[in-house]
Structure 1
Amino acid sequence: MQEVYLCLDVGGTEIKAAPLDKRGNFLAPVRHFPAMAGADRQTLLENFGWIFSSICPENALPIEIDLAFPGPFDYKNGICLLQGLDKYDALYGCNLRRAFSEISGLLEQKIQFINDAAAFALGEMAFGQATQAGRALFVAVGTGCGSAFGVNGFLAEEGTPGVPPNGYFYNAPFRDSCVDDYISRRGLEKLSGEMLGVPLDGRALAERIAAGDERAKACFRCFGEQLCDALQPQIEAFCPDTLCMGDRLWQARHYFCTRWKNFVQTRRLLYILHRILLCGLCRG
């Protein structure tokens, strides 16, 4: 019977999951599941259990479950600390290592957690576009703004100059609030509400742009400018040679490309829009 690792990328909108072998090879295509992030605790746990069983191949033995989970999160002890960020509030304080062990039948030490942006970074540095990077900054924008910092193929150690605590800058002061309130889905919805009179997410804005709506295109350009402003202090402090962006920015890149070209070229950065996360779970 084949031994498999069940790997999940837990987002606020959807959960991407696939079975991998110990070498990081996919044993089945990545599947997408609704996150149900606003549901009650029992519903959320049942949803995770359904995902575990759904992605495990027939005649395969799951030997570990690896989850990339957004922070704040006590990754060492498996305790969810998300609260007030529009996702998984019902899991606050829940020992997910114990809960998932009970659901799956695996020992608690076989349930592993890592920050989702950190898994993204590990995947890119080991298998993707940042294999040659000396200093790399990784940013994944979705329900919130995830980040990680890499040095010579590894996650930057705590205390590395220019690296914020835990590698997070979602809570860094920005304008009248913090980065996460602007560089996120809800930030884009707030911006579109102010500029267009109706709050729209990235997909809805892209549909309007495809239909020829110039105001929607201007909204994305404004979001790109905010993103540059939010990243500038991090880049100046850490001095990366590579900037890797993931998640929904891939679809939006055409709409704020000009500002990005100037932003990147003046800092001699290799700018990469890419995302490899599930492979990074095996390495993490």
Structure 2
Amino acid sequence: MSQKKILAGDIGGSHFTLALFEEKGTELNLLQTERHVLDSKLPKEEILQQWVLSLKKYTKGNPGLCISLAMPAPFDYEKGVCWIKEQGKFNSLFGCDLKTEFSQGLGIPRSQIKFINDAEAFLFGEAHFGKGFGFTNLLGITLGSGLGSAIKQGDILFDADLWQSPLKGGIAEDYLGTGWFLKLVKNKFGLELKGVKDLLDHETLQPEIPVIFDIYAKNLSEFILSVYAKVPFEAVIIGGNISLSSALFVPKLLEHLRDATADIVIEISQLGELSTIYGATSLFFEARSERASN
């Protein structure tokens, strides 16, 4: 029976998670996971050192290990080059050839290292193992420091790259990412916060939280409806750190969708980061993958 070990990773602006899998025939077994805090505003050398040291624990004594990493856009996934810029994360990695850096740092061939869009990996994982199972057409979105998006149409799944799509006179990410909350709180209340959790924990803001998330729900509904008008889907699968506060915005979101007579199911990921992790493994299971380039 053929056996292959795959190290899959989900790399975000504040963390990275690694999971080791073993393929036995048609089965994919999760062996272990680990999560690391990461400051994506650090210099290039420090970020690379942290990644390489964490990956090297798995490649040591296992030269045939396949590594599949989910990264946010913009990124050249084929060549492994990071093009993220002015998004509040990984600015120091702009133009960095991560595939070469990892290959040299780990002493393994470039062919054993692959990258996938994080939202695409998320939706692949959800469609096969999570809330998206059984649906033919899906929109997957990850709400966090940025906006990730992917679309599934029948057997084809691809990165939708909707973060720059028009919304409210600007772009969608500006109204759906963490930055929207921080900007609103700063402009309205003069408070400097670091994330949505700070907002939820801030004692003096408690009366304002329902109002803030109602506005957010309206923003999200406008985005979903704009995508639905171009590419109809049965359901939206929502992940990312902001989805952890779904109880604060999903009821209002559903209300807005009903008002627009849009029959769309809203599902919140229960697998969390594991959706992206499982989706990333598809890079080395092409025979079972329905991914496609957009």
CA contact (8 A) 1:65 1:112 kept: yes
Name structure 1 gaps, 5 residues minimum: 157-165
Cα distance, 1:230 vs structure 2: 2.3
RMSD over aligned Cα atoms: 2.1
Q: For residues 59 and 45 of structure 1, what CA distance do their matches in structure 2 show?
A: 21
Who is 1:140 aligned against? 142
Give runs of ≥4 in structure 1 deviating > 4 Å: 57-62
Who is 1:35 aligned against? 38
Q: For residues 222 and 38 of structure 2, what CA distance do their matches in structure 1 show?
A: 30
Cα distance, 1:95 vs structure 2: 1.0
- Does structure 1 residue 207 correspond to structure 2 residue 201? yes
Q: Give the counterpart of 2:246 among 253, 260, 269.
A: 253
Superposition pairs for residues 219-258 of structure 1, below 5 Å? Answer: 219-258=212-251
Cα distance, 1:198 vs structure 2: 1.2
Counting aligned pairs with the same residue, the percent is 22
Who is 1:6 aligned against? 7
Q: For residues 169 and 178 of structure 1, what CA distance do their matches in structure 2 show?
A: 9
Who is 1:125 aligned against? 127
Q: Give the secondary structure class of the aligned counterpart of 2:29.
A: coil
Question: Aligned pair in 2 of structure 1 residues 263, 153: CA closer, same or farther (>3 Å)?
Answer: farther
Who is 1:196 aligned against? 189
Name structure 2 gaps, 5 residues minimum: 284-294
Q: Give the secondary structure class of the aligned counterpart of 1:67.
A: strand
Who is 2:210 aligned against? 217
Question: Aligned pair in 2 of structure 1 residues 206, 24: CA closer, same or farther (>3 Å)?
Answer: farther
Superposition pairs for residues 1-284 of structure 1, below 5 Å? Answer: 3-22=4-23, 23-28=27-32, 30-54=33-57, 56=58, 63-156=65-158, 166-200=159-193, 201-208=195-202, 213-265=206-258, 266-274=261-269, 275=272, 276-284=275-283
TM-score by length of 2: 0.85
- Measured against aligned partners, the alpha-carbon deviations of 1:16-40 in whole angstroms (never above 9, x if no partner) come to 2111123432101x32212221111
TM-score by length of 1: 0.88
Equivalences, count: 271
Q: Give the secondary structure class of the aligned counterpart of 2:202.
A: helix
Name whichever of 223-232 and 256-265 sits farther off: 256-265
CA contact (8 A) 1:137 1:150 kept: yes
Question: Aligned pair in 2 of structure 1 residues 4, 192: CA closer, same or farther (>3 Å)?
Answer: same
